[in-house]
Amino acid sequence: MEEKKLRAKAGMPMLILFIILYFVAIGLIILGGILLDANIGIGALPLILGVLWVFIGVIPFFGLKIIKPQEALVLTLFGDYIGTLREPGFYYVHPFSTAVNPAAKTRLGQSGDVDSSPTSKLVISADGNMVQTTATNKKISLKIMTLSNNKQKVNDALGNPVEIGIAVMWRVVDTARAVFNVDNFKEYLSLQCDSALRNIVRIYPYDIAEGIDTTGDGKPDEGSLRGSSAVVAERIRKEIQEKVQDAGLEILEARITYLAYAPEIAAVMLQRQQASAIIDARKMIVDGAVGMVEMALEKLNENDIVKLDEERKAAMVSNLLVVLCGNRDAQPIVNSGSLY
């Protein structure tokens, strides 16, 4: 079902007309009373008309609608969709038309849909007591809103459980589809966000891993949840958009707001990262130490400071590597004897 714009009358002239008719009805009641007091038989007719309008004249007021900026009102008449009011203003529509918004009472996490919040009012019950009732605003917000679902625990491409959360910026672009194509467009959006998040996250490893194809081209790449968060978020956005297209929603942006290993493996993964960092650091230290030893031997040979045989060179290399690669400061030993 496609949205259609409702051509409504201006509300202010109709409001003035209804108020004038109410004053006319009151005048007819007074006129009828005067005529009846004068024993004029025709006085009953204006009295009846005036009383009748006083009771039924409130019905046209139900057709007066106020639309604020970035709001819409989907209206049906006896079950048929008659159109949507989208432009801000004061309008008059059919008094028996009904506003439809099945998601009026649904609130999403961190959503800006403030216009759908219920309002309270006091009414008099049948026994004469004041009772507080809740009235729900049926208007649909056209603002850009934010959906922040709960964190999801999902297995990545390597089977490791990770916790991830996303924030989705969205808005309603087709009110008819949002109201009539799905039961509750807000709950539908929340469900599709969870589904798309799981479908995309399971393609990527948490960190860069060998032999993992994240693009679907059959070739391993370096995609990861931690290193390619912008790419992952864009793929999530596109998948959500495909799923909510029929609901008249537009997904503007999706962002990853939380990413971490699940608590049950977080400590193990931290040790793994620490071990990997230590290995990389040791490799860098060894490469630097070997270069320094080579440079030291070359300088000794160039300046003929001392001539060393292969055995003494090996001992010197061993000592230098111990000093350069050790975790603790070297303790010098003074040799007071001969060289050999």
Average pLDDT over residues 209-221: 81
Indicate whether 115 pLDDT > 50: no
**Cβ atoms of residues 91 and 10 within 8 Å:** yes
Output b/e per residue, 304-335; b: 16+ Cβ within 10 A.
eeeeeeeeeeeebbeebeeebeeeeeeeeeee
Query: Cα–Cα distance between 240 and 196 in angstroms, integer?
Result: 6
User: Going from the N-terminus, what domains does the chain have, and what CATH number goes with each?
Assistant: 1-100 (no CATH), 145-261 (3.30.479.30), 269-325 (no CATH)
| Alpha-carbon distance values, 16 to 10, 11, 49, 246 (Å) | 11, 9, 20, 42
Query: Cα–Cα distance between 301 and 296 in angstroms, integer?
Result: 9
How many residues in the chain? 340
Indicate whether 60 pLDDT > 60: yes
Indicate whether 118 pLDDT > 60: no
Q: Which two tokens stand for residue 246?
A: 């029929």
Window from 21-25, 37-41, 95-99 with minimum mean pLDDT? 37-41
Model pLDDT for residues 124-134, shown as the tens digit of each residue: 444 444 444 44
Q: Which of 160, 144, 166, 190 is nearest to 273 (CA)?
A: 160
Model pLDDT for residues 272-317, shown as the tens digit of each residue: 667 777 777 777 877 777 777 777 777 767 766 666 667 767 777 7
Query: Cα–Cα distance between 334 and 209 in angstroms, integer?
Result: 50
Query: Cα–Cα distance between 8 and 28 in angstroms, integer?
Result: 31
Confidence category of residue 335, pLDDT binned at 50, 70, 90: low
Model pLDDT for residues 162-187, shown as the tens digit of each residue: 899 999 999 999 999 999 999 999 99
Quote the pLDDT of residue 104.
85
pTM beyond 0.85: no
